[in-house]
Structure 1
Amino acid sequence: GIRKARQAPVFKAPLQISAPGLDEAAQGAAPELQSPRNCYVCKAEFTRLHFFYDAMCPSCAEINYRKRFQTASLAGRVALITGARMKIGYQAALMMLRAGARVIVTTRFPVDAALRYGAEDDYGDWKERLHIHGLDLRHTPSVELFASYVEHAHDRLDILINNAAQTVRRPPGFYAHLMDAENRPFDQLPASAQLLLARHAQFTQRLGGLGARQLPGAADMPVTWQAQGPGIGLRASAQLSQIPYPYDAPLVDAEVFPEGQLDMDLQQVDLRTTNSWRLCLGDIQTPEMLEVHLVNAVAPFVLCNRLIALMRRDNTGQKHIVNVTAMEGKFHRFKQAPRHPHTNMAKAALNMLTHTAAQDLAKDGIYMNAVDTGWVTDEDPAVLAQRKQDIHDFQPPLDIVDGAARVCDPFFDGILTGRHWCGKFLKDYQPIDW
């Protein structure tokens, strides 16, 4: 089940159990709990465990398991998704590629993303339809430039997914292990990576003569936000991650970011004892508050604002904008915890963008919705998260495939049923209060 999949050193999406196997699993000796649990989705009590999910009642678990593998033909369609190097964004991009779409992916670390996609078993099936671009969403002028590029490089856009989000700011040491590959000259990358990055390389060459990674002595040249030339967030998206902030606590990287230790998502292990997810008003640094808004709210606004014209060119009645949000951005809550108000503010702003613009866009066959991915990741510091697991046997009820399935559901379900959600806050595949 879902817990067994988490035990793997590197996450690999569990394959779907075939119909005969599903019947055996459903009708077999399903474990009965000695004391009832409350379903993560519907909150009802249950005692019979599903073969895959251990935090859902049998009926909700069946729906969620079916949705994990839902698909519909996206042949001939173009999709843009931000933040798709790993986790939910990566899985969502794979779902769209395997459904036949041409997919434009953005990430701060394009080489690492290309290496990940190039290692997929079915890479050869969709390699010509995937284009990876380096983009730091904190640099709004670069987001504007990228939107202009997409508008001129593609004759249509059917799906826009604003997935990238900054929840916890990581200091430069967290990303240091990625820089060797990101600084490598383009012609020294594997052929599979060169193919996926070819359009980005051409674009950055036009912007600055040569991409940042190709400049002579690039490794010795400091990258700054005030760099000359346009599009520093495109030309040096990875290098910008290495700029420290004055308030960054003096850390011994070897202790908090141990070399060679990666988690199951191939992300650097972070052993810091606290992070901004635990902070309340009065403890949060202003630059981090600004970063969160630039990534979580300003960049989605810019992309929507600039790319709506491209989406309107061909009214198919099946175009979608998915703004990935979180429950922390809701106003209609009986209780709101005091922590991380800066991320809550940013998600609330993104929700208001959706709530405001959706009905007008629907007149052109463009359906905009906010989607909560569900509880997939424990954002607490690793030490605290491990303690909760050891003492309380706590693990998030969903995995990254569940999160990606929720992100893709508005258009997959809309295409399959002919009914498209519009202007909704979707949680667990259903609309809830804002």
Structure 2
Amino acid sequence: MKEGLPELHLPDAETIAQRLRQDQQACRERKVPSNLAVQLSSATEDIFDEVAWHLTPQVEVSKALRSTRCKSIIKGIKAYLGQLDVMTKSEEHMSMDSMHVPASEELETTLKVLDYLQKHKVVAPTEPLSEVLLAVRGQLSMNNNTRYTQHERFQRTDAPKTSDAKKRCYICRYRFSPTDSHELYPSLCRQCGMFNIGCSNLSLPEKLDLTGKIALVTGGRINLGYSTVLRLLRCGAKVIVSSRYPADAAVRYSTEPDFSQWEKRLKVVGADFRTANDAFRLVHIVKQLLCAWDGETPSDTPQSLDILINNAAQTLTDPIKGEVKAISREDHLKDHPQTMALLAESENDRYTPRVRGGQQATWIPRITNNKTQPQIEGASSTQPTNQIATKGLRMTNNEDEEPSKSSWVQSLHEIPYSDLISAHSVNAFVPLILCRELLPVMGTLPPSSSPSPSAPSTPAGYIINVSSREGILEDTPQSSSKAGHHVHTNMSKAAINMITETEAQAAWKGRRVAMNSVDPGYMSAAPECLTDEGCPIGFEDGAGRVLWPIAVGEVEGKAVWGRFMKHFRVGVAITRRG
């Protein structure tokens, strides 16, 4: 029994946890789970915490990691249910009189379909008719390409396996038997799972004290940034968070159960890095907060910025309709009391979210001298900033048109030029601006009597450039890691890695600021890349990786700088030298 939980809720929570495990297994076996995962969206925080405990009752696992695992299970079940939920009202109310009488050919086709479902283990031979109908409807909810993809996946997984049936560990890459996997991480061997938890725990409040330090985290509204900010706050730091949707971010933080313990140490700033003006506005606000955190009289000796985490990234481009919906929600939340308390802005300088960041340039073909050439039109600053810009080089100006697949699987000729520009703005240009503008208010000048600038010592500041392995060179040009996809984000990640490699030494020698690139790991995937197993690790694990260089410096007094780090490892070169 978990200590400190009211006994009244324990039986319910335990039953819910057992049912979630059964539903998760049903999804893996391509059966129909219950609707419990959907109903849990209205559960109280206490019930949710108890369910998370029963799903992961190990004492050594942090509460945040338990919560992350629980949310991952629920999210996976809901996604699976979404594929099956295609029953229409017309089908439910179909009368016997209007029912179609099948012909012989249709009955023969039905037998073929049922045989297909049996062979692919979608339904069992003893399954009741209602379950069979649900399975058929689930198949109908998929388009042909998705169905073919599942068929190919089944053929691979159902093929005769070798006796060992081993898979590669996500961290060490050695093969291991499923029975040797870590109980919290099916994609990790037991040893690497323990290693992952141990290293991640180094940046938890029990070990890392950041009291008195000030951090800036870009892109902190959801996912990795959100988890990273919470760790920093719970370790005692003051944190400035930037987001395209600051009101929504403020409301999200205010719903945390321990919000009252750190609300005075959190500031949220609106900034859309698809425009440089917002980056410079953020710099200005950060410097103001260093002089006067909570509206007090500005100090003649401002505090230094201790931590800069360039986390904001554009990997998958949001649909225009999604941005419009987010802006509408932002407008609804902007006057929320909790929003007003957390936002760092003045009445005369209020941030306004814009579709596509207010980009006015539209790429369209124009016939010039009998040749089709791409030209930029509509760049006038007199146009309204919330105008919807079209995406990419196209013949028509259809504002409702959305890409048929995510940018993660787009080839060179499918990537809109607007995505190319915005990815570099968010992923590379703005991190460079922030490093350049904020380094002078970070760290400390080395004393003239310092023996050697490169001698190891405790860092006086930290810059973490959140990157990914897509930004490094592969061992072979035949590698399938990139394979002609998402070249624009690969380029931008290579650029942020080059910021680290070029500027880390100067930052360390000049200000004793430790700058590193960190790959937080495989925590999320494009819709086309999702698998039944999900991702190997979660956002809480990613936050542990991002903060690891800081924890090593603060807890162990070790300086790590100028490196590309993955899986808590030090000394990995950003590019391979021949």
Quickly name the TM-score band, shorter chain normalised: 0.7 to 0.9
Aligned residue pairs, count: 371
Amino acid of the structure 1 residue aligned with 2:410 = L
Amino acid of the structure 2 residue aligned with 1:331 = L
2: distance between equivalents of 1:105 and 1:86?
A: 11
Q: Assess, with a 3 A threshold, how the Cα gap between structure 1 residues 288 and 358 changes in structure 2: closer, same or farther.
A: same
Q: CA offsets per residue over residues 264-307 of structure 1, 9 Å max, x none?
A: xxxxxxxx641221112222222211111000000000000000
Q: Assess, with a 3 A threshold, how the Cα gap between structure 1 residues 242 and 329 changes in structure 2: closer, same or farther.
A: farther
The equivalences for 1:402-413 within 5 A come to 402-413=541-552
2: distance between equivalents of 1:34 and 1:314?
A: 58
2: distance between equivalents of 1:423 and 1:223?
A: 32
Provide the residue aligned with 2:554 in structure 1. Answer: 415
CA contact (8 A) 2:279 2:430 kept: yes
2: distance between equivalents of 1:20 and 1:85?
A: 28
Higher deviation after alignment, 8-17 or 112-121: 8-17
Gaps (5+ residues) in structure 2? 1-16, 25-36, 63-162, 291-302, 361-383, 447-457
Matched, 1:170 2:309: no
Provide the residue aligned with 2:516 in structure 1. Answer: 369
State which of 292, 295, 304 in structure 1 corresponds to 2:426: 295
Provide the residue aligned with 1:110 in structure 2. Answer: 246
Q: Assess, with a 3 A threshold, how the Cα gap between structure 1 residues 283 and 309 changes in structure 2: closer, same or farther.
A: same
Larger RCO (alpha carbons 8 Å, 6+ apart):
1
Higher deviation after alignment, 153-162 or 307-316: 307-316
Q: Assess, with a 3 A threshold, how the Cα gap between structure 1 residues 372 and 224 changes in structure 2: closer, same or farther.
A: closer
Amino acid of the structure 2 residue aligned with 1:340 = H
2: distance between equivalents of 1:222 and 1:324?
A: 23
Matched, 1:69 2:201: yes
Provide the residue aligned with 2:493 in structure 1. Answer: 347
The equivalences for 1:14-413 within 5 A come to 19=59, 35-47=165-177, 48-70=180-202, 71=204, 72-154=208-290, 155-184=303-332, 186=334, 188-189=335-336, 191-197=337-343, 199-200=344-345, 202=346, 205-207=347-349, 212=352, 224-225=358-359, 243-247=388-392, 273-313=404-444, 317-334=459-476, 335=479, 336-363=482-509, 364-379=511-526, 382=527, 384-385=528-529, 389=531, 393-413=532-552
1: distance between equivalents of 2:261 and 2:442?
A: 26
1: distance between equivalents of 2:550 and 2:518?
A: 12
Q: Assess, with a 3 A threshold, how the Cα gap between structure 1 residues 425 and 173 changes in structure 2: closer, same or farther.
A: same
2: distance between equivalents of 1:401 and 1:285?
A: 32
CA contact (8 A) 1:39 1:46 kept: yes
Q: CA offsets per residue over residues 221-253 of structure 1, 9 Å max, x none?
A: 999557xxxxxxxxxxxx968733254885869
Q: Cα RMSD between the aligned structures?
A: 3.3
1: distance between equivalents of 2:182 and 2:445?
A: 44
- TM-score, normalised by the number of residues in structure 2: 0.59
Amino acid of the structure 1 residue aligned with 2:497 = N
1: distance between equivalents of 2:61 and 2:560?
A: 33
2: distance between equivalents of 1:310 and 1:243?
A: 37
Q: CA offsets per residue over residues 350-398 of structure 1, 9 Å max, x none?
A: 100100111121122200000001111112xx3x345xx3xxx342111
Q: Assess, with a 3 A threshold, how the Cα gap between structure 1 residues 129 and 39 changes in structure 2: closer, same or farther.
A: same
- TM-score, normalised by the number of residues in structure 1: 0.77
Matched, 1:433 2:573: yes
Gaps (5+ residues) in structure 1? 23-32, 214-218, 227-238, 257-271
* Seq. identity, %: 31
Amino acid of the structure 2 residue aligned with 1:179 = I
